[in-house]
Amino acid sequence: MASAIGAQLVDMDKLQLHPTGFIDPKDPGNATKFLGPEALRGSGGVLINTCGNRFVNELDLRSVVSEAIIDQQDVYPGANGAKFAFCVLNEAAVKLFGPAALGFYKDNQGLVSKVADLDELANHIHATAITSATYSNKSDTPSQATIKEQLTETLSAYEKVASSGKGALCPTTKK
């Protein structure tokens, strides 16, 4: 866009895309996003798609994580085609990230939801998926029960690897 109006471009190979920005559920079409700090993923946040699957090593390069989110083709409802994933944190990840820091995003900005259990998480994901543009044929949208099954499998596999110590490979991401 800048070069089209004659601007000189410098060091464009150094430009980085940040993979995690919050979509405001109260104003999803707003082009301005809050940065979702890498510490969310670094603290143990797991990226989940609308089917309930983990699909990327969250600690990989920004470009790899960004591309993986886009490749999921999950489109947030009302966000002008913005691709998205859910970043799921358990209590240990919240503690590591910092409850006060997370409170800023949750309580002050309304960008984070807390759920009590897998049923509630599956319901939240299903409610978003059913209203998104991801599934042009709404009958293709995974059911809440299917999402819960996938979440259980995904998070159990992640927990098994995370609790086994260094050297274990995640069966999903192979990292």
Q: Which residues contact 131 (CB under 8 A, 6 or more apart)?
A: 77
Q: Report, as residue numbers or ranges, the catalytic residues.
A: 18, 41
Query: For 45-68, what is the HEC assignment?
Result: CEEECCCCCECCCCCCCHHHHHHH
Cα–Cα distance measured from residue 90 to residue 1, given in angstroms and rounded to the nearest whole number: 41
Q: Which residues contact 125 (CB under 8 A, 6 or more apart)?
A: 48, 50, 52, 86, 147, 151
Cα–Cα distance measured from residue 175 to residue 173, given in angstroms and rounded to the nearest whole number: 5
Cα–Cα distance measured from residue 36 to residue 39, given in angstroms and rounded to the nearest whole number: 8
Residue 159 neighbours by CB distance under 10 Å: 12
Dihedral (Cα; 150, 95, 41, 73), 10-degree rounding: 40
